[in-house]
Amino acid sequence: MSNDTLTVTDNRTGQTYELPIRDGTINAIDLRKIKTSPNDFGLMSYDPSFLNTASCRSSITYIDGDKGILRYRGYPIEQLAEKSTFLEVAYLILYGELPNRQQLDQWVFDITHHTMVHENVRIFLDGFRYDAHPMGILISTVAALSTFYPEARNVFDTASVELQTRRLVAKMPTIAAYAYRHAMGLPYVYPDNDLSYTGNFLNMMFKMTELKYKPNPVLERALDVLFILHADHEQNCSTSTMRIVGSSLSDPYVSVAAAAAALYGPRHGGANEAVLRMLMEIGHVKNVPDFIASVKRQERRLMGFGHRVYKNFDPRGVIIKQIAHEVFAVTGRNPLLDIALELERIALDDEYFISRKLYPNVDFYSGIIYQALGLPTTMFTVMFAIPRTVGWLAQWREMLADPEQKIARPRQIYTGVMQRDYVPLEARG
Ligand code: CMC
């Protein structure tokens, strides 16, 4: 007889219930059997911020936060970062297997040939103020693509889903680069199909008067690895947003826009921008101890430290630190690196951070690399959104194919006034 059950005694009634345990979870809906009377709604679980709730089954990304493990479709992130390319990893994440030569060539061709955006996109980009935050531009422009591709709302049409997937992966760098060029007052640069995904992105960002832009191979590869590291991270805030918005069968453009909006905040993808601002504010290595002291007084957070899941180290942070050195060998050393290294050194040795299991996360070093590449801080979260689009789309596709998934609709514990009568304005105090 299997012991995979949980026996619960409800001390309010003395009744005992047996709940099945599957994959280390109980089904929350089984709790509803636990009632004090036939009219009772039944027991719910209360889990603000979803600290201990699995919302789906997923075969995309595996994380073991205690051991610092991150795998896409079973492949360790370290191997993918060393041996693969971003577009190959994108294929892996979306389709579950590494592509063969012919599949890879077709995939790269498809993405390369969907990079252009409709000319009207340029026109409404011009409507943004010169100092508009590129994340605001990216979010609104991706949402606007929904109006260009109305067939995208057929979310169960396989051919359409494939097309929209390719369009989104291909067009995100173009929109991102256009947002940057707009802010700089520079003319938009059309995609160059001879270049790689990241080489072309650098082209659309930085090409000036030269006839042909030649990306530096070290920087092109560094960016490719950064994109691999950011491609998916299971059920985080933005991915859950993608699934929740997508669960109402909204089209993938507005769903990606919603996910990108969730990414924007400083506790999520906005952290890399916040790290840079923090390093600039600290200004000098000699100011690091004072800064750490204010963090320990809980007046502020050490941005780029801590993670909801990783409690020993963030494996992406380890790879990024190596990349930083490769990039600085080309661009020259970013002086903020010394402040970052000193912050890391002190924090990793300090009881406050050790006891709370706070370690550098993916965002701690990515910002200084982006700055060394010549990107303004406002572009950092955009640099996260481009590769994460792959993860959002893979999770969205998995959600739509999952018969257990319905429209997402959490419950609440109502804490307001139960009922009262309307008071006319003149009778109110
Ligand atoms: N600096 C100082 N103290 C911190 C920090 C930090 N960065 N992060 C957590 N703590 C403290 C927090 O004050 C609390 O202390 P106490 O128990 O005394 O009240 C304890 O550590 C637990 O914090 P928490 O807020 O309950 O942890 P969480 O799992 O809810 O938060 C986090 C995770 C990533 C939001 C948080 O660590 C944070 O705000 N970090 C800084 C922002 C950041 O770097 N975000 C990027 C995350 S990685 C990329 C991504 O996925 O977007």
* CA 287 to centroid of ligand 1, rounded, Å: 22
* Index of the ligand 1 atom closest to the CA of residue 361: 48
Give me the chain's average pLDDT, please.
95
What is the tens place of the pLDDT at every residue in 101-153? 999 999 999 999 999 999 999 998 999 998 999 999 999 999 999 999 999 99
Q: How far is it, in rounded angstroms, from Cα 175 to Cα 253?
A: 13
**DSSP secondary structure of 257-268:** HHHHHHHHSTTT
- Which residues on neighbouring strands pair with residue 193, listed in sequence order? none
Question: Identity (one letter) of the amino acid at 397?
Answer: R
Q: Smallest Cα–Cα separation from 55: which of 30, 73, 33, 28?
A: 28
- Whether 23 is in a domain gets the answer yes
The protein residue whose alpha carbon is closest to atom 44 in ligand 1 is 304
> Among candidates 15, 14, 24, 13, which has minimal Cα distance to 5?
24
Helix (H) or strand (E) holding 18, with range, is strand 15-22
The single-letter DSSP state of residue 188 is: P
Q: 200 and 164 in one domain?
A: yes
Task: Please tell me the residue having the least CA distance from ligand 1 atom 34.
Answer: 307
Which tokens go with 136? 């605001």
Buried/exposed code over 169-183 (b: 16+ C-beta within 10 A; e: otherwise): bbbbbbbbbbbbbbb
Ligand 1 atom 29: residue of nearest CA = 308
Percent of the chain exceeding pLDDT 70 equals 100
Residue nearest to atom 9 of ligand 1 (CA): 306
DSSP string, 82-142: HH--HHHHHHHHHHSS---HHHHHHHHHHHHTT----HHHHHHHTTS-TT--HHHHHHHHH
pLDDT in tens, 289-348: 999 999 999 999 999 999 888 888 889 988 998 898 899 999 988 888 899 989 999 998
Mean local confidence (pLDDT), 385-402: 98
Q: What pLDDT score was predicted for residue 312?
A: 83
Q: What is the CATH number of the domain that holds 198?
A: 1.10.580.10
The predicted pLDDT at position 309 comes to 87
Overall domain count for the chain: 2
Whole-number pLDDT of residue 85: 98
Q: Do 36 and 64 share a domain, yes or no? A: no
State the CB neighbour count (10 A cutoff) for residue 381.
Answer: 28
- Per DSSP bridges, beta strands 5-10 and 15-22 are antiparallel
| Residue 255 alpha carbon to ligand 1 centre in Å | 27
**Which strands, in side-by-side order, build the sheet including 5-10?**
5-10, 15-22, 25-26
Ligand 1 atom with the shortest distance to the CA of 238: 52
Give the separation between CA 311 and CA 359, rounded to whole angstroms.
Answer: 7
Q: Which residues are catalytic?
A: 268, 307, 363
CA 366 to chain centre: 14
**Co-location of 137 and 286 in the same domain:** yes
Whether 36 and 92 map to the same domain: the answer is no
Q: Is the same domain home to 169 and 188?
A: yes
Contact 364, 347 (CB under 8 A): no
pLDDT digits (tens, 9 = 90+) for 56-104: 999 999 999 989 999 999 999 999 999 999 999 999 999 999 999 999 9
Amino acid letter at 237?
A: C
Strands 61-64 and 25-26: unpaired
Question: Both 263 and 360 in a single domain?
Answer: yes
Domain-embedded: residue 64: yes
How far does residue 307's CA lie from ligand 1's centre (Å)?
A: 6
412 is a domain residue: no
The residue whose C-alpha atom lies closest to atom 8 belonging to ligand 1 is 306
Q: What is the domain range of residue 15?
A: 1-54
pLDDT of 2 higher than 70:
no
Distance 358 CA to ligand 1 centre (A): 7
Are 216 and 373 within 8 A, CB to CB? no
CA of 281 to the centre of ligand 1 (A): 20
In a domain, 222, yes or no: yes
Ligand 1, atom 19, residue with closest C-alpha: 298
Query: Does residue 1 have a pLDDT over 60?
Result: no
Domain identity same for 14 and 116: no
pLDDT score for 367: 87
In this structure, the answer to whether residues 194 and 47 fall within a common structural domain is: no
Best of 354, 361, 380 for a ligand 1 pocket test (most atoms within 8 Å of beta carbon): 361
Tens digit of pLDDT for each residue in 191-227? 999 999 999 999 999 999 999 999 999 999 999 999 9
To the nearest 10°, report the CA torsion of 287, 288, 294, 297. -140
Residue type, 143: A
- Cα four-point dihedral sign 189, 112, 254, 70: negative
- Whether residues 115 and 13 fall in one domain: no
The answer to whether 223 touches 376, Cβ cutoff 8 Å, is: no
Q: How far is the CA of 160 from the centre of ligand 1 (A)?
A: 40
Q: How far apart are the first and last CA of the chain?
A: 67
State the closest ligand 1 atom to the C-alpha of 269, by its place in the atom list counted from 1.
52
**pLDDT 10s digits, 269-292:** 888 888 999 999 999 999 999 999
Shared domain for 3 and 101, answered yes or no, is: no
Supply 115's token pair: 């990079």
- Residue nearest (by alpha carbon) to ligand 1 atom 40: 306
Pocket test for ligand 1, best of 308, 352, 383 (most atoms within 8 A of CB): 308
Residues having CB closer than 6 A to ligand 1 are 236, 267-269, 271, 295, 298, 301-308, 356, 358, 361-363
For residue 409, tell me if it sits in a domain.
no
Confidence of residue 3 (pLDDT cuts 50, 70, 90): confident
- 3-state SS of 293-346? HHHHCCCCCCCCECCCCCCCCCHHHHHHHHHHHHHHHHHCCCCHHHHHHHHHHH
Task: Kindly report the number of other CB atoms within 10 A of residue 116's CB atom.
Answer: 13
Query: CA 142, CA 144: separation in Å to the nearest integer?
Result: 5
The token duo for 224 is 């490719």
Q: Examine the domain organization and report whether 130 and 269 are in the same domain.
A: yes
Same domain, 39 and 63: no
Q: Given ligand 1 and candidates 356, 366, 392, which is best to mutate, with the most ligand atoms within 8 Å of its CB?
A: 356
